[in-house]
Structures are given as structure tokens and as C-alpha cells.
A and B are shown apart, each in its own frame.
Chain A
Amino acid sequence: MEPSLVTNIGKIQLDKPAMLASGILGISLDVFNRLYRSGAGAVVTKSLSNEPWEGYPNPTIFSVDGGGWMNAVGLSNPGASNFAKMIEPNQDVPIMVSLVGSIPEDFATMINEFKNCNVTAFELNLSCPHVAKVGLEVGDDPELVKQIVTTVKNSTNVPVIAKVGLGTTHYLNTVKTAIDSGIDAITAINTVRAMAIDVETQRPILSNKFGGLSGTPIKPIALRCVYEISSKYDIPIIGCGGISTWEDAIEFFLAGASGIQLGSAIGDNWINVFDDINKGILQYMTKKNYSTINEMVGLAKKF
């Protein structure tokens, strides 16, 4: 049988396993269409808030010597309402809407804005490492995670994903809380809180001082997290963190992810990276005689 790139992430079925990660390029439907044509299986939007946010002043992105990126964009976004109007005409592109907020009501209000939109899933950003009162500060609070997931699940029939990261609460506890509250899938991981200082001017480079580290330096950490989650819980997982080649993608499948997300790789290799990864995965599947992605998921756990 010819290998197929179709993957099932629980209730979510995608034609291709590699998605655009949240925060990257995600503010125009035209760009979403272009990414979809370039081989992305889905696009995850920038994290949307109830009100428009301008984000932090520049510098917001910094290239790390030796690979990887650090960013503190500050969750700039046009707000859920404006964004929903923009994607209303969408027919073709599987769009996962990323949401960020401080209280359960924020999320319920935003989900209601998307009632006329073709949305494949909602991804709850419980792990942004560089904005106060949202993101990791929410993910670190188990009671809040429980309330938010419960509220969101009661507000929509669309599958809901929780994106977790490395905060002060053990991420596995956040995963468990989300699962117990009815979450449909987990995205792991977000960027890792980090910083950079310029030695000449002796000041932190990012305007926010702290940012999130992404790209190849965090790949082994993300892979470990996916492996740990899939070893401990029976929940569909989307792997995210430093994936830039088809070999990286396969590694994450073997660790237990049934889908993957790319971000930093686009900064390094531009959007051809989706097509390159898709081709590489197909060649690997032919060589190893797999017909579906899901046959590979979690195989490394038997050792």
C-alpha cells in the first residue's frame, strides 16, 4: 500500500502531520492559504486574546549563536473578534485557533466569536513564558487549568488541545489536570523561558528582558516531554519544539506524537520546510514499509 501522510490526532484528522506552530506568521488568511498550499497539514493561529494586543517593543526576536531563536513578541494579536471576522471566509485550510486568557470567561467569550468560522480545533495556550497573568502563569495553576478546560469543553464541540510548557508546576501535573478536565489532545512543548545579554552594551537584548527559547536547542527537551507524556497517559500528542527535518518529525512520532508543529524552522529554511519534511517522511515510510503515520506513533516506548 502507498504510504499516506494522513494522521489522526484523536478526533482530529489531518491530511499531513506537520502544522504551523502558534505565534508564527499567523495573522492573515492569505498567508494561511499559502502555507496550506506549501504542505502544512494545519495552521495554528497566533494566540488570540479578548482585546487586541500590540505586544512588546522591539527587539522582540533574537537569533541565538549556535542555533535557535529567542522571542518576546508579547502575544501581539488583533483580538479574537477581529480575527474571527478575518477567517470567516475560510473553506479549505484546517485552522486551529490558539487562545490566551486569564480566566475561564475570557475563553468562553472568545470561542463564541468563532461560531461562524470553520475551525478544526482550539489550542489553549497555557504556557507562553513571557507575558504576565496569562500563559505559563495560568498553566502553573492547576485549579485554573481545570476551570478553563472545563469551561471551554462546555462551550464548544470542536476538539480542544492544551499547549503545555516548562513552568514552575511540573508540566506532567498540568497535563493530568487537563486530561481529567476532558481535554482532547496535548501540544508539547512551548518555548523555554530564557534571555540574552549583549556584552558590548551590557544590557539584555529583548525589550522584555526574558523571552522564550525555540528551535534546535530545545528539540531534545521537547522530545523527552512527548515521550514522558505518552508513556504516562493515553492522550493524543502534538510534538512541538525545534523540529526542522523529516528525521526530527519521525523521532517525535516514535516518541508518541501523532502530529508535529514547526516554527523556528521557518525562520531558518522558509516555508519550503513543510514540503521537504513531507517528502522525507514518505520516503522513510516506503523504506520501512509503513502505510500510515499512526503505525509509527510511540514505537520507541517498547525499549
Chain B
Amino acid sequence: MRWWDLQRNFNHTTIVTIEKVVDETPTVRTLYFSDDVMSNVLPGQFAMVWIPGVNELPMSVMISKETGKAAFTVRKHGLASTGLFNIKSGEKIGIRGPYGNAFDIKEGNLLLVGGGTGLVPMMRLLTHVKPTDNVTLLIGAKSQEEVFFESLANELLKNNPHKVIVCTDDGSYGEKGFVTDIVEKLVNESHFDGVYTCGPEKMMYKTVQSAHSKGIFVQASLERMMKCGVGICGSCCVGEDLVCKDGTIFDGNHLSQNKEFGFTHRNKAGILEDY
């Protein structure tokens, strides 16, 4: 790290220029930029990303193969994410952070379960596993055209004993059905030293239940409506936990005590809504 990185106020927005945009699927893009701080964040950490004139939203920090670079992988969904999706090479965005805690990466047999852009922290986690770890990655997607990061995962794991299993809801690619059914099958059949998940909440809830009920160490990275990212506004609370400050990563022990995880989230006004 250079001296000016140490001087940087992590809560202050830094402007970066998007250098490359890659279409992952018709609705998902990865935007690459140069930033030493973001290139070195821990698996699971996020940044608050400002799209000038549009909005600011929390984004898990995607890896880049190039030193000193990082990326955001975004699915166009609402106003903010569509705004980020539409940013072109050469345009500027603001970033602050990194925020949040990181996955506690165990050694041995690891199971990673990612759905959609929840694969982003999983990719960074793959760059932190030991060569001796046996890694199984489950990728969940709606259909074949929404599958991404499969070849990247295989490449990152080329020196490890590993398996990358894709499943699609409609069976158009890989196995047919929900990843959570495969999780349940896998934890019944084999021993795992750690299970890590990020993606749709129902997927994470079932994954946590399957692993935790077997006494397996499991962590999930939660997503909530987030405004400040620094523990002031309270928008991202889940029960008594603040996702931005206490998380975004929580372990199975903690989550199994939380009444809201898997069932409810708060909208922009702070009203509880069912998943």
C-alpha cells in the first residue's frame, strides 16, 4: 500500500473511471476500474458506489486478474442498479469503503453457494482458498443465458481438487432445480469444514438451515436496503443487527437466532415486508 492510500479517508467518495465493461449475461455486466484499495479488499467486503446524478448503492467488490484493479458486477433491476449497468467505458463513478466484515475461511472441504450476483464475493473467496482445499461451488441461475462466472471459477480453482456445479431453475443448463436441494444432498453425503453463501435470501436461508442443522460452520452475506453504509441511518437492520456494520457476513449460529433472516426485509420507509 502506498502512502496516499493510507491517507485516504475511506468514508470519502473517491472518483474512478470505468476502463472496461464486460457483458456477462443479457442483464449482468462487470465494470472494471483501477483502485489499489478496492483491489485488495477481503472476500465479502463491499463498497458504496455512487452513480453521479442517479443514486448510490452497496456493491460487493469483484476481482480483476490485473493488479491494482477491481470491478463491480451488477444486474439491472431497479433505478440504481440499472444506472450502474448503463455506465460506459470512460465514464466516472464514485466509490467509498471498503465496508463490512469478511468471510472466515476454513481449511479442508469447502462448499460455496452463489446465486446471481451473489457469486461476486464467492469469486473473491476463491482467490483466498489454500491449494490443498477441496472446493465445491454451486452456481444457481434461472436459465442457461443467466449463467456466468462458471469458466472463471474453474480457472481460479485449476490447482485445487474442485467441482463447479451449475443448476438452472428451468433445467436449460446443468442440473435442473434449486441449488438448495443440491446443498441438502451434499451436506448429507459428505463432510464440509465450511459453507459460504451469498444470493437470494430464501436460498441463503435454506443453505444455512441445511448446514447449521448438521453442525457445519456456515456463513451468509446478507443484503438489505442500505443508505449510509456506516451504521448511522439504520435502514439495513435485520432484527438487532446492522448489515453494514455488524455484517454483511453472519454465521449460522447467529442467523438461527434472528427472527427476520429468511422471512422479512425493510423497504425504503423502514416498513417490514415479507420475502
A-B residue pairs, 8 tightest by C-beta? A63-B11, A58-B56, A30-B240, A25-B234, A52-B269, A54-B268, A27-B270, A61-B228
* Distance between B243 CB and nearest chain A CB, rounded to angstroms: 12
Label chain A's interface by main secondary structure.
loop
Q: Does A73 contact B (CB under 8 A)?
A: yes
Contact of A63 among B55, B96, B267 (CB under 8 A): B96
* Distance between B23 CB and nearest chain A CB, rounded to angstroms: 25
Q: Does A60 contact B (CB under 8 A)?
A: yes
Closest to A205 in B: B13
Question: Number of residues in B with C-beta < 8 Å to the partner?
Answer: 38
* Interface range, A side: 35 or more
Are B227 and A24 touching (Cβ within 8 A)? Answer: no
Q: List B residues at the A interface (Cβ < 8 Å).
A: 9, 11-13, 15, 48, 50, 52-57, 79-80, 92, 94, 96, 227-235, 237, 239-240, 242, 245, 266-271
Interface positions, chain A 40-68, Cβ under 8 Å from B, are: 46, 52-55, 57-63, 65
Contact of A76 among B80, B230, B269 (CB under 8 A): B269
A201 to B53, CA, bound (A): 10
A205 to B53, CA, bound (A): 9
Which of A158-166, A260-268, A284-292 is the interface stretch?
Answer: A260-268
Are A266 and B271 touching (Cβ within 8 A)? Answer: no
* Distance between B90 CB and nearest chain A CB, rounded to angstroms: 13
Are B234 and A78 touching (Cβ within 8 A)? Answer: no
Known: A53-B269, A198-B52, A198-B94. 12 other contacts (CB 8 A): A24-B234, A28-B239, A46-B234, A57-B80, A58-B227, A61-B233, A63-B12, A69-B232, A76-B227, A78-B270, A200-B15, A264-B232
* Distance between A74 CB and nearest chain B CB, rounded to angstroms: 10
Q: Give the residues in chain B near A271, CB-CB below 8 Å.
A: 231
A292 to B48, CA, bound (A): 44
Interface positions, chain A 19-35, Cβ under 8 Å from B, are: 23-28, 30-31, 33-34
Q: Give the residues in chain B near A270, CB-CB below 8 Å.
A: 231, 245
Q: Give the residues in chain A near B270, CB-CB below 8 Å.
A: 27, 46, 52, 76-78
Q: Give the residues in chain B near A52, CB-CB below 8 Å.
A: 269-271
Q: Would you list 24 pairs from A and B whose C-beta atoms are within 8 A, ordered by A residue? A: A24-B232, A24-B233, A26-B234, A27-B266, A28-B234, A30-B237, A30-B239, A31-B237, A31-B242, A52-B271, A55-B269, A57-B79, A58-B80, A60-B227, A61-B227, A61-B229, A61-B233, A63-B96, A63-B230, A76-B269, A200-B92, A201-B92, A205-B94, A266-B232
Q: Does A79 contact B (CB under 8 A)?
A: yes
Are B57 and A55 touching (Cβ within 8 A)? Answer: no
* Distance between A162 CB and nearest chain B CB, rounded to angstroms: 23
A28 and B240 in contact (CB under 8 A), knowing A73-B227, A267-B228? Answer: yes
Closest to A63 in B: B11
A198 and B15 in contact (CB under 8 A), knowing A58-B57, A73-B227, A78-B271? Answer: yes
Q: Give the residues in chain A near B239, CB-CB below 8 Å.
A: 28, 30
A62 to B94, CA, bound (A): 12
Q: Give the residues in chain A near B235, CB-CB below 8 Å.
A: 27, 76
Q: Give the residues in chain A near B12, CB-CB below 8 Å.
A: 63, 65
Q: List A residues at the B interface (Cβ < 8 Å).
A: 23-28, 30-31, 33-34, 46, 52-55, 57-63, 65, 69, 71, 73, 76-79, 82, 198, 200-201, 203, 205, 207, 263-264, 266-267, 270-271
* Distance between A20 CB and nearest chain B CB, rounded to angstroms: 10
A82 to B271, CA, bound (A): 7
Closest to A28 in B: B237
Are A31 and B240 touching (Cβ within 8 A)? Answer: yes
Are A61 and B15 touching (Cβ within 8 A)? Answer: no
Are A77 and B237 touching (Cβ within 8 A)? Answer: no
A31 and B234 in contact (CB under 8 A), knowing A54-B269, A201-B15, A267-B228? Answer: yes
Are A25 and B96 touching (Cβ within 8 A)? Answer: no
